[in-house]
Amino acid sequence: MAKIGVEDSLTNVQEALRQKGHDVVQLSQESDARGCDCCVVTGIDSNVMGMNDTIIAGPVIEANGLSADEVCQKVEQNLR
């Protein structure tokens, strides 16, 4: 299955993705995202400086307002 980076605070999402067979990596710092097929973030942090550095080629999913199941669905849709 896919290697998914998930922010530390999203423990329910981490567990749901593990149950679906994905390799889950906790994202504590930017470098943790290297090698991930997809990342899930809270969306709480905003990019005040307007700077974007690409760490992964895959999608980044914002989990704000979504259930763990909804996040899993978005991850699987984006990895097809």
pLDDT in the model for residue 31: 85
CATH code of the domain made up of 3-79: 3.40.50
* Amino acid in the structure at residue 76: E
pLDDT of residue 52: 55
Average pLDDT, the chain: 86
How far is residue 76 CA from its own chain's centroid?
Answer: 11
pLDDT at 45: 59
**Residues 15-20, mean pLDDT to the nearest whole number:** 96
**pLDDT higher than threshold 70 for residue 47:** no
Question: What does the pLDDT average to over 12-33?
Answer: 93
